[in-house]
């Protein structure tokens, strides 16, 4: 009876398309918003993720998330280095500042200062230039997106000069950095230069980044650092989790996205539920005739679920395809949106939500079909 | 020899706001093989209720109903469904064809319900459709057919799986006089056989000529049984 069920479904193109587009719309809305939410929340930890060399972050105990830090003295760096199990520990400065291009464009920037000797903390992927270029006096690296904001119509090149907090520096490299939360240009410099650019007093570092020695567990070493130094120490993953949780708990981001995602689900469920219910109700006499002829309830149930399933798969495929197209094309067209992707977990989660929508839609409809009295066909 | 249908003292009530409403008051009826039996009577006399009970799609309060010697009431729900699928053919007043299926596919639905795929079943239904003069319309959808043509498809659907009992509810109600007689001629020619019985519920006195036996009902009881000369079509 499967073929008959599908012919019934496709034979009512108005309702079939209504079902498909209802599911597709709900899928697109949920997937797009969930993907954006994860992408934007992910940006809050961009500068943690980009420091690939370290597996531990040490900071003042009052720090709650990565964007705001309490400066520490250099002596804390040496104390961290002295803890057993620490392979290396390096300074890391993170500061906001302003940059002015020769054309007068003023932008707020995120200034990252990395260890003068190792330059650990600079993203590994260079668009132009290389890591060693940062060793030159007044040399900085800027992320590609930041370069395009400061010089919107210029081709990517090196040697351009800008002023950071009224001090002139030179672009020696362009890197492919993860997008920061505020989409500001990200500028990398040696720690000593960054201190001067940030107009901070000497020996004021934001974080100590460190790596556990071979054979040591980073979480255990971090706990040891915290115990011995009185500082807050955590793994990179732990610091990222702490930052994400801060944004989730203290900003309106999850509520705003959550409302939209919930609306996608509710509106989708309402449209699909109503359309499918109408489709089934309008076919009640046909189902009644089939039952009279000798089609059992189980076969009828399979027919209805097949109809719902086909509409769900078609609508979901269309919707998730549109969402995937959005995440494929839009970030490429707008560099500020770079890095936004549609995670497979979102696709899977939305599939589960669509399954729930179709289950809700099917439930009432199936009930009507199963209880329909086949004698209905004898009532003119 | 067993009867096609044997009803004894069948009682059926429906719930109503005023309490149980009895619509069948101990009905006895025999339907022999090889005949077309018409159940006639005014609206509300219980014809359709009796037809539904005989068809195994409506339960009854007391009494006994046997179809081809099988006690319908003692069957489980699934067994009753399987019994209907194998042994009964239905013709409804409003035809109840599936709008998305062609005439041939609609005629083939009982075969599909029995597990044959739609394409094969539609091919199997073709000889019967041709016999009913619907061969050239086999690929048309119900909305492309006239009322009479739709009724022919319904007749084909009722007979395609060679049922022992054909039940028809007001088969001419939606047809004009000529269309109704044509449909009855086809129904009689196609359905009446020595090993088959046909029950027709109707108000339409113009088609009484086609019956071998007319059972008149009034107020939930059998008022009269009029036997006519049987006309068995081998």
Q: Identify from A13, A294, A300, A307 which residue to disrupt to test chain B contact, counting B C-beta atoms within 10 A and taking the largest count.
A: A294
Q: Is residue A64 part of a domain?
A: no
Question: Nearest chain A Cα to B86, which residue?
Answer: A294
Examine the domain organization and report whether A132 and A9 are in the same domain: no
Confirm whether A52 is domain-assigned.
no
Name residue, tokens 């399954």.
Answer: A355
In a domain, A37, yes or no: yes
- Tell me the pLDDT of chain A averaged across its residues: 88
What average pLDDT score do residues B6-10 get? Answer: 93
Same domain, A225 and A87: yes
Instruction: Tell whether A105 and A221 lie within a shared domain.
Output: yes
Question: Smallest CA–CA separation between B212 and chain A, in Å?
Answer: 23
- Whole-number pLDDT of residue A347: 93
The C-alpha angle with vertex A375 and arms to A374 and A379, in degrees rounded to 5, equals 130
Q: What pairs with residue B31 in β-bridges?
A: B5
Cβ-nearest to A11 among B81, B88, B99: B99
- Mean pLDDT confidence for A183-211: 85
Q: ipTM value of the model?
A: 0.85
Q: Which residues between 279 and 318 in chain A have a beta carbon less than 8 angstroms from any beta carbon of chain B?
A: 285-286, 288-296, 299
Which among A4, A11, A288 is the top mutation candidate for probing chain B, defined by the most B β-carbons within 10 Å of its own β-carbon? Answer: A4
Yes or no, beta carbons of A8 and B86 under 8 Å apart: no
Interchain contact, B52 vs A375, CB within 8 Å: yes
Compute the distance between CA of residue B166 and CA of residue B129 in angstroms, rounded to an integer.
17
A226 found inside a domain: yes
**Minimum-distance CB partner of A1 among B84, B99, B112:** B112
- Whether A292 and B110 lie within 8 Å, measured CB to CB: no
Q: How many CB atoms lie within 10 A of CB B176?
A: 11
pLDDT digits (tens, 9 = 90+) for B61-115: 999 999 998 998 888 888 999 999 999 999 888 888 999 999 999 999 999 999 8
Going by pLDDT thresholds of 50, 70 and 90, the confidence category of residue B233 is very low
Say if residue A156 is in the same domain as residue A284.
Answer: no
3-state secondary structure A290-309: HHHHCCCHHHHHHHHHHHHH
Question: Which pLDDT score is estimated for A268?
Answer: 81
Range of the structural domain that residue A154 is part of: 73-230
Cβ-nearest to B118 among A4, A289, A291: A4
Please state the rounded mean pLDDT for residues B209-224: 90
User: Which among A8, A292, A299 has the least Cβ separation from residue B100?
Assistant: A8
| pLDDT class of A196 with cuts at 50, 70, 90 | confident
Q: What are phi and psi of B86, to 5 degrees?
A: -85, -30
Chain B residue closest in CA terms to A303: B113
Quick one: pLDDT at residue B131? 85
Q: Do A125 and A199 belong together in one domain?
A: yes
Q: Based on the domain organization, do A220 and A355 belong to the same domain?
A: no
Q: How many structural domains comprise chain A?
A: 2
Same domain, A222 and A85: yes
Chain A closest-CA separation from residue B72 CA (Å): 14
* Environment class of A377 (CB within 10 Å of its CB; exposed 0-12, middle 13-18, buried 19+): buried
Q: Is residue A7 located within the same domain as residue A104? A: no
Mean pLDDT of the region B208-216: 90
- Residue A53 within any structural domain of the chain: no
Q: Which among B57, B86, B110 has the least Cβ separation from residue A374?
A: B57
Dist CA B122 CA B108 (whole Å): 5
Same-domain check for residues A205 and A292: no
- Nearest CB neighbour to B90, from listed A8, A292, A373: A292
Domain annotation covers residue A245: no
Shared domain check, A222 and A106:
yes
pLDDT of A55 > 90? The answer is yes
Q: Is the pLDDT of residue A250 over 50?
A: yes
Q: Which residue of A has its CA nearest to B102?
A: A7
User: Are A79 and A224 within one domain?
Assistant: yes
Do residue B94 and residue A285 have CB atoms under 8 angstroms apart?
A: yes
pLDDT tens digits, B137-147: 999 999 999 88
A270 vs A12: CA distance, rounded Å:
19
Q: What is the DSSP letter of A213?
A: P
Looking at residue A260, what is its pLDDT?
Answer: 87
Q: How does pLDDT run across A315-356, given as a tens digit for each residue?
A: 999 999 999 999 999 888 877 777 788 999 999 999 998 888
Q: Does A344 map to a domain?
A: yes
Using a CB–CB cut-off of 8 Å, the residues of B that contact A are: 48, 51-52, 55, 57-58, 78, 81-86, 88, 90, 92-94, 96, 98-101, 105, 109-110, 112-114, 117-118, 157, 169-170, 173
Q: How confident is the model at residue A242 (pLDDT cuts 50, 70, 90)?
A: very high
pLDDT grade for A193, boundaries at 50, 70 and 90? very high
pLDDT digits 0-9 by tens, B40-53: 998 888 888 999 99
User: Residues A294, A370: one domain?
Assistant: yes
In A, which residues are within 8 Å of B100 by CB distance? 7-8, 10-12
Write the CA distances from A194 to A96, A202, B132, B155, integer angstroms: 11, 10, 94, 91
User: Could you tell me if A3 lies within 8 Å of chain B, comparing CB atoms?
Assistant: yes
User: What is the predicted pLDDT for the residue at A239?
Assistant: 94
Q: Does residue B204 register a pLDDT over 90?
A: no
Q: Which SS3 state, helix, strand or coil, does residue B218 take?
A: strand
The confidence score (pLDDT) of residue A91 equals 94
pLDDT of B23 strictly over 50 = yes
pLDDT in tens, B160-196: 998 999 999 888 887 788 878 877 888 888 778 888 8
Q: Distance, in angstroms, between A152 CA and closest chain B CA?
A: 59
- Which CATH code for domain B35-42+75-227? 3.40.50.300
Do the domain assignments include residue A211? yes
**In chain A, what residues touch B117 (CB-CB under 8 Å)?**
3
Q: Check B88 against A290: CB less than 8 A apart.
A: no
What is the average pLDDT across B219-231?
A: 79
In this complex, the residue of B52, B101, B113 whose CB is nearest that of residue A295 is: B113
Which of these ranges, A66-70, A159-163, A173-177, B108-112, has the smallest mean pLDDT? A66-70
| Residue B2 pLDDT exceeds 70 | yes
């Amino acid at each position: 009876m499967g073929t008959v069920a599908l012919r019934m479904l496709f034979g009512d193109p108005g309702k079939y398309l209504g079902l498909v587009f209802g599911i597709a719309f709900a899928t697109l809305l949920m997937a797009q918003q969930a993907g954006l939410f994860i992408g934007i929340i992910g940006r809050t930890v961009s500068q943690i993720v980009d420091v690939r060399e370290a597996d531990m972050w040490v900071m003042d105990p009052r720090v709650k998330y990565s964007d705001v830090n309490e400066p520490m003295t250099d002596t804390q760096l040496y104390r961290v280095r002295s803890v057993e199990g620490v392979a290396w520990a390096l300074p890391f400065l993170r500061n906001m500042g302003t940059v002015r291009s020769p054309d007068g464009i003023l932008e707020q920037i995120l200034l990252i200062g990395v260890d003068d000797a190792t330059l650990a903390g600079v993203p590994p992927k260079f668009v132009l230039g290389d890591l060693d270029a940062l060793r030159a006096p007044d040399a900085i690296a800027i992320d590609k997106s930041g370069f395009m904001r400061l010089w919107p119509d210029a081709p990517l090149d090196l040697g351009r000069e800008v002023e950071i907090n009224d001090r002139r520096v030179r672009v020696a490299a362009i890197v492919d950095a993860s997008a920061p939360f505020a989409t500001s240009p990200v500028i990398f410099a040696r720690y000593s230069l960054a201190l001067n650019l940030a107009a901070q007093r000497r020996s004021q570092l934001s974080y100590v980044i460190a790596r556990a020695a071979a054979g040591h567990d980073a979480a255990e070493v971090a706990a040891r650092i915290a115990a011995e130094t009185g500082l807050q120490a955590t793994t990179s993953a732990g610091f990222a989790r702490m930052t994400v949780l801060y944004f989730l708990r203290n900003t309106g981001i999850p509520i705003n996205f959550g409302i939209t995602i919930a609306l996608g689900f509710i509106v989708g469920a309402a449209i699909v539920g109503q359309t499918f219910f109408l489709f089934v109700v309008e076919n009640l006499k046909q189902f009644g005739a089939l039952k009279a002829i000798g089609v059992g309830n189980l076969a009828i149930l399979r027919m209805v679920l097949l109809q719902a399933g086909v509409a769900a798969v078609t609508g979901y495929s269309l919707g998730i395809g549109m969402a995937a197209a959005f995440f494929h094309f839009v970030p490429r067209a707008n560099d500020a949106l770079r890095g936004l992707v549609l995670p497979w977990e979102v696709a899977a989660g939305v599939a589960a939500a669509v399954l729930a929508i179709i289950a809700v839609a099917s439930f009432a409809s199936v009930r009507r079909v199963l209880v329909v009295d086949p004698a209905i066909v004898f009532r003119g | 020899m067993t009867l096609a249908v044997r009803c004894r003292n069948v009682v059926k009530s429906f719930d109503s706001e005023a309490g149980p409403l009895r619509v069948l008051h101990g009905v006895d009826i025999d339907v022999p093989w090889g005949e077309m039996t018409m159940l006639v009577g005014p609206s509300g006399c219980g014809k359709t209720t009796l037809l539904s009970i005989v068809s195994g799609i409506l339960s009854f309060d007391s009494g006994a109903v046997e179809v081809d010697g099988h006690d319908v009431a003692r069957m489980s729900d699934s067994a009753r469904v399987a019994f209907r699928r194998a042994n009964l053919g239905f013709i409804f007043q409003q035809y109840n064809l599936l709008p998305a299926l062609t005439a041939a596919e609609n005629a083939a639905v009982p075969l599909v319900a029995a597990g044959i795929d739609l394409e094969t079943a539609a091919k199997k239904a073709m000889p019967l459709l041709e016999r009913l003069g619907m061969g050239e319309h086999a690929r048309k959808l119900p909305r492309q057919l006239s009322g009479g043509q739709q009724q022919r498809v319904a007749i084909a659907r009722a007979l395609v799986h060679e049922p022992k009992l054909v039940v028809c509810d007001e088969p001419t109600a939606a047809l004009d006089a000529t269309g109704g007689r044509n449909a009855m001629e086809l129904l009689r020619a196609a359905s009446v056989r020595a090993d088959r019985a046909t029950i027709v519920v109707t108000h339409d006195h113009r088609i009484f000529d086609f019956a071998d036996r007319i059972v008149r009902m009034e107020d939930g009881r059998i008022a009269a049984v009029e036997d006519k000369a049987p006309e068995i079509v081998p």
